[in-house]
Amino acid sequence: MNENVIYSDKAKELQAIAKEIAESHVRPGAAKHDKAQEYNYDAARACAEAGLFGTWIPEEYGGNGAGVLALAMVVEELAKADSGFGVAFAVNALGSFPILLGGTEDQKKLWLPQVANGEKFVAFCLSEKFAGSDAGGLAVRAFDEGDHYRVCGEKKWTTNGGVADIYTVFAVTDPESRSRRLSSIVVEKGMEGFSIGKVEDKMGIRTVPVVETVFDNVMVPKANLIGGKEGMGFKNAMQTLDYARPGVAAQAVGAAQGALDYAMAYSGRRRQFGKPINSFQMVQKMLADMAIKTEAARALVHSVAATVDAGRASEASKKAAMAKCFATDVAMEVATDAVQIFGGYGFMEDYPVAKFFRDAKILQIYEGTNQIQRMVVARALIKEAADLEHLAAYIPFEEQSTFTEQAAITGS
C-alpha cells in the first residue's frame, strides 16, 4: 500500500471481497474461458451479488460511493487472477462514467442503479475503423428527427459488446462545428436497428468480447442524450478517459503482480544444477526488478486515483496518462520476464504466464495508446514550463549566432 494515500475502510473491504472472488470464481476458470473465448458469467454474478459493480457509483444512485481508488484496488485483485476478467469488470466503469460525469439527474437515477446492482452491463462506443486515437475524426452520425435521434454507422472494438445492455455512444450531431461536433447518447440493447457485427478473434483478453457495433438507423429517444445538451460529447469523452485510465492502469498492476506471483512460485520449485533457479543471481535480479517496477506502478496508480477522487481535475489528466502509460509498460515487461523465467514452459499454453503475456499487450494500446499518453504528458509539461521562466536566470544561454548554417556550408 502507498503510505501517502489514505485508504478508506470501504475501499479495503471491497478489495478483500474482490480478492476472495478472484480466487474462488476467476482464477479456476481463467484458462477455460480464455480458450473458449467465453464470458465468465459466474464471476460476474459473484461480483454483482457482492456489490462490486457499485464500487465507483455514488450511494445516492445505489452504489458504494467508494470512488476511483477503490475501483483500482478491486480491479487489481480481479486482474491478478485473470487480466481478461479485470478488463470485463472495469469496462463497466468506463461505460458508465459518461453518465455519471455528464448525465442529467434523471439519467443518473435511471441507469446508474441498474449498473450498481449488476442488473445491466455497460459498454463504451468511441473508436471507429478510421478514428482511433483521433476522437475528433468520428463519423457515426446522430440525425435530429424531432423527438428522436437516428443513429447511423459502425463502431469498432466495443469491449463488452453483446454482453452489455447499455451502450454509451459518441456520435456526430453537428458536422460543421469543430468544438461542439460530438454528442454522447445512450443506446440500449434491443433497440431496432442496433446489432452486433464482427466478433473479434483476439490475441489476448479472450474472455471479454470485443466487437463491431452496428447502428442501422437506430431511433433513440432524445431523453437518451447524455446531459440533455448537444455538442458536449468530446468533453464528456475526454473527462471519462481521465477517470477511467486509473482503472486501466490498475488492470496492468494486477496483470504484472499476477505474472510476478507465478514467476516467484515457479522459480522456487524449478531446479537446475541441483538448486532452485531463484538461487541464481540473474534470476534474482529479474525478480527484484519485476517487483520494484510493479510496486512503483501501484503507487503511481493509487496516487492518481486519489487525485481524481479529490476532485483535482486540473492535475488528473497528466497524472492519469502517466499512470496508464507507466503501469501498462510495466505489465508488458513483467509478463515478458515471467515467460523468460519459465523458460520453454513459459511459451506453452499449458502454463498461465503465456496468457499473462498475451493479455498484457492490449493494455499498451486501448484507451489511448502509450504513444498518445506520452504526448498528453509532454503537452502538459510544455504548458507547465511557463511557470519555470525564473530558472532562465541560472542557465547561461549563448547568444544566437549571426553566422548562418548556409554560410558555413557555402563558405560565403
Per-residue pLDDT tens digits for 196-225: 999 999 999 999 999 999 999 999 999 999
pLDDT over threshold 80, residue 279: yes
Between CA 126 and CA 140 the distance in angstroms is: 9
At 6 the pLDDT is: 85
Helix axes 233-269, 313-342, angle to 10 degrees: 30
188 forms beta bridges with 166
Q: How confident is the model at residue 4 (pLDDT cuts 50, 70, 90)?
A: low
Judge whether 198 and 213 are in contact, CB under 8 Å: no
pLDDT for 97 equals 97
Looking at residue 401, what is its pLDDT? 61
Residue 315 pLDDT: 80
367 given a catalytic annotation: yes
Identify which has the larger pLDDT, 225 or 396: 225
67 class by beta-carbon count within 10 Å (0-12 exposed, 13-18 middle, 19+ buried): buried
For residue 408, name the pLDDT band (cuts at 50, 70, 90): low
Residue 258's pLDDT band, with cuts at 50, 70 and 90, is very high
Q: Is the per-residue pLDDT at 403 higher than 70?
A: no
User: Cα–Cα distance between 398 and 328 in angstroms, integer?
Assistant: 41
Q: Which domains does the chain carry? A: 9-121 (1.10.540.10), 123-230 (2.40.110.10), 235-386 (1.20.140.10)
Taking alpha carbons only, the member of 124, 205, 126, 118 closest to residue 167 is 124
Residues in the chain: 412
By CB atoms closer than 10 A (0-12, 13-18, 19+), residue 150 is middle
**Which pLDDT band holds residue 20 (cuts at 50, 70, 90)?**
very high
Average pLDDT over residues 389-398: 86
What are the DSSP E strand ranges found in 2-144?
Answer: 122-125, 141-144
Q: Is the dihedral of CA 195, 199, 204, 205 positive or negative?
A: positive
| Residue 336, pLDDT above cutoff 90 | yes
Q: Write down the catalytic residue from 13, 315, 367, 389.
A: 367
Q: Kindly report the average pLDDT of the chain as a whole number.
A: 94
Instruction: Look up residue 212 and give its DSSP letter.
Output: E
Q: What is the pLDDT of residue 405?
A: 55
Lowest mean per-residue pLDDT among 227-231, 313-317, 346-350: 313-317
Residue 133, pLDDT > 60, answer: yes
The answer to whether residues 317 and 380 touch, using CB atoms and an 8 Å cutoff, is yes
- SS3 category, 119: coil
Give the pLDDT band of residue 312 (cuts 50, 70, 90). confident
Give the residue with greater pLDDT, 111 vs 402: 111
Which DSSP letter does residue 225 get?
B
Burial 151-187 (b: 16+ CB within 10 A, else e): bbbbbbbbbbbbbbbbbbbbbbbbeeeeebbbbbbbb
DSSP structure string for 120-134: S-EEEE--BTTBSS-
d(CA 74, CA 338): 23
List pLDDT tens digits, range 28-72: 999 999 999 999 999 999 999 999 999 999 999 999 999 999 999
Per-residue pLDDT, averaged over 273-278, amounts to: 94
Per-residue pLDDT averaged across 167-172, rounded?
A: 98
- Label residue 137 by pLDDT band (50, 70, 90): confident
Kindly indicate the confidence band of residue 134, based on its pLDDT and cuts at 50, 70 and 90: confident
Rg (CA), the chain: 23
Q: DSSP secondary-structure letter at 22? A: I
* Residues paired with 184 in a beta bridge: 170
Q: Please tell me the distance from the alpha carbon of residue 76 to that of residue 410, in angstroms, as a whole number.
A: 62
Query: How would you classify the pairing of strands 182-188 and 166-172?
Result: antiparallel
Residue 195: how many CB atoms within 10 A of its CB? 14
> Which of the four pLDDT bands, split at 50, 70 and 90, describes residue 100?
very high
DSSP 184: E
Instruction: With cut-offs at 50, 70 and 90, classify the pLDDT of residue 131.
Output: confident
356 — pLDDT class (breaks 50, 70, 90):
very high
Nearest in space to 72 (alpha carbons), one of 86, 85, 88, 58: 86
Q: Which three cell numbers stand for residue 22?
A: 478472484
The three cell numbers locating residue 213: 457495433
Q: pLDDT at position 406, please? A: 57
Q: How confident is the model at residue 179 (pLDDT cuts 50, 70, 90)?
A: confident
The answer, yes or no, to whether residue 412 has pLDDT greater than 70, is no
pLDDT on residue 159 = 96
